[in-house]
Amino acid sequence: MSPHGVLIVDKPTGPTSHDVVARARRVFKTRAVGHAGTLDPLASGVLLVLVGE
């Protein structure tokens, strides 16, 4: 059974949205991870990360 759902991430300044997705892919051991919207590396805020189907 593969994981699926939505993560609400409070992204700090520094990492890119892609960095957050890459970390989620490692944690959940799946390539089926993406994000809704993009935050600049210098911006902090809410980033939706979608996992699975």
Residues recognised as catalytic: 40
In degrees, to the nearest 5, what angle opens at C-alpha 52 toward C-alphas 7 and 26? 70
Angstrom distance (rounded) from CA 22 to CA 45: 18
> In 3D, which of 15, 16, 17, 1 has the Cα closest to residue 52?
1
